[in-house]
């Protein structure tokens, strides 16, 4: 069977960010790849083998994958069926979809049989059973095992090092930072998992996307430090109100960690945000970091400057600059740097 080009996203199991309904596309009369003329009704280019309606098929595949992730098997089956008329009958992708539809039908039949069995056993109590299962699933989603284990491991480690008050506040600040990413992802209609805490290493939010723009990626990356700055300000307010040294330690540490996260290397948030900045934008941030080091004498700005200098020569700089990304990045550098400059480092004093 022919394996036509530009069809990877049709394979079942792709991660979805698309809506459950996919509108019918307009007729296409030129190949999306080689731009050769195509007669009406032709589904694959005779010259290069490209699927004519590959973009529409990818949208169907994404929507069907999302329906499967949400256990809407009937909707998923209908979506996969809607893809077949847009594929040549002899395409290997069409055969894969037919096999996947058969597996979905089997899964749905198993669900229906299981539900019928419990409905027969429970009789009039069955609606209460369904409600209890949904409630259990909800709480399981909120308190996922790996999230709970990460939280306990984080708390135990920092309790042993700095005392339980600092440990609890530090975990809360880290979660606020990660929830900034989570909310930014969810606001864009994308799927995201709850934050995962890695004791001694940090934390992350795993999320899924297709076709996201670089400015959107930068906005998601910078949302963490923005929320982290808010957590540091809240801790500083608690210190002014209570005069408890632990809140001063949390405020300073939180600001420092979020500033370090802006270094544009490795897995840091700054690296993701820099993808939306062209060489001019990166150069402006490089100069700014050098100036901030001269004014504030905070060593982290030297690392920021070094990272941005390296990114000046990497081949990933776009042609267009994201002004919003540059503005938010620069504002965070100023705010977090000023925070460290005016809030004294309490060291280890008062953390227990």
pLDDT 10s digits, 308-346: 999 999 888 888 899 999 999 999 999 999 988 888 776
Nearest-5° Cα angle at 295, 292 to 298: 65
Average pLDDT over residues 88-106: 81
What's the token pair of residue 195? 């934050």
Whether the CA torsion 198, 203, 205, 206 is positive or negative: it is: negative
Contact (Cβ atoms closer than 8 angstroms) between residue 328 and residue 222: yes
Range from 67-76, 87-96, 134-143 carrying the lowest mean pLDDT: 134-143
Taking alpha carbons only, the member of 179, 180, 154 closest to residue 167 is: 154
Taking alpha carbons only, the member of 251, 263, 351, 352 closest to residue 299 is: 263
Counting beta carbons within 10 angstroms of the beta carbon of residue 297, is it exposed (0 to 12), middle (13 to 18) or buried (19 or more)?
exposed
Q: What is the pLDDT of residue 293?
A: 92
Contact (Cβ atoms closer than 8 angstroms) between residue 88 and residue 94: yes
Average pLDDT over residues 120-148: 51
Q: What is the pLDDT of residue 12?
A: 44
Q: What is the pLDDT of residue 68?
A: 77
Average pLDDT over residues 41-59: 78
What average pLDDT is seen over the chain? 77
Q: What is the pLDDT of residue 334?
A: 94
SS3 label, residue 303: helix
Most confident by average pLDDT, 6-15, 61-70, 79-88, 290-299: 290-299
DSSP state of 30: B
Residue 201 has pLDDT above 60, yes or no: no
Q: What is the pLDDT of residue 312?
A: 92
Please indicate whether residue 155 or residue 288 has the higher confidence score (pLDDT).
288
Q: What is the pLDDT of residue 199?
A: 52
pLDDT tier, 44 (very low <50, low <70, confident <90, very high otherwise)? confident
Residue 60 CA to residue 79 CA, distance in Å, equals 6
């Amino acid at each position: 069977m022919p394996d036509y080009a530009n069809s990877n996203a049709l394979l079942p199991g792709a991660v979805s960010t698309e809506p459950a309904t996919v509108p019918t596309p307009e007729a296409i009369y030129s190949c999306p790849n080689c731009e050769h003329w195509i007669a009406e009704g032709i589904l694959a280019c005779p010259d290069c083998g490209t699927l004519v309606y590959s973009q529409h098929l990818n949208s169907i595949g994404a929507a069907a994958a999302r329906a499967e992730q949400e256990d809407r098997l009937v909707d998923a089956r209908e979506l996969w069926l809607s893809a077949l008329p847009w594929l040549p009958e002899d395409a290997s992708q069409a055969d894969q979809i037919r096999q996947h539809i058969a597996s979905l039908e089997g899964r749905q039949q198993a669900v229906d049989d299981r539900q019928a069995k419990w409905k027969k056993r429970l009789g009039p109590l069955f609606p209460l059973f369904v409600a209890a299962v949904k409630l259990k699933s909800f709480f399981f989603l909120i308190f996922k095992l790996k999230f709970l284990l990460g939280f306990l491991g984080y708390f135990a480690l920092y309790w042993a090092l700095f005392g339980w008050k600092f440990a609890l506040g530090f975990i809360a600040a880290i979660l606020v930072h990660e929830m900034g990413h989570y909310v930014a992802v969810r606001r864009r209609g994308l799927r995201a998992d709850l934050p995962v805490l890695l004791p001694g290493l940090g934390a992350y939010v795993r999320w899924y996307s297709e076709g996201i723009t670089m400015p959107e990626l930068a906005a998601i990356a910078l949302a963490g430090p923005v929320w982290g700055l808010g957590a540091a300000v809240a801790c500083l307010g608690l210190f002014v109100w209570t005069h408890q040294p632990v809140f001063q330690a949390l405020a300073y540490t939180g600001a420092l960690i979020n500033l370090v996260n802006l270094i544009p290397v490795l897995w840091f948030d700054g690296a993701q945000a820099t993808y939306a900045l062209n060489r001019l934008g990166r150069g402006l941030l490089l100069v700014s970091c050098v100036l901030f080091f001269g004014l504030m004498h905070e060593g982290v700005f030297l690392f920021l400057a070094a990272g941005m200098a390296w990114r000046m020569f990497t081949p990933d700089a776009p042609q267009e600059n994201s002004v919003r990304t540059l503005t938010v990045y620069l504002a965070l550098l100023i705010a977090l740097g000023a925070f460290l400059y005016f809030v004294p480092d309490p060291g280890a004093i008062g953390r227990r």
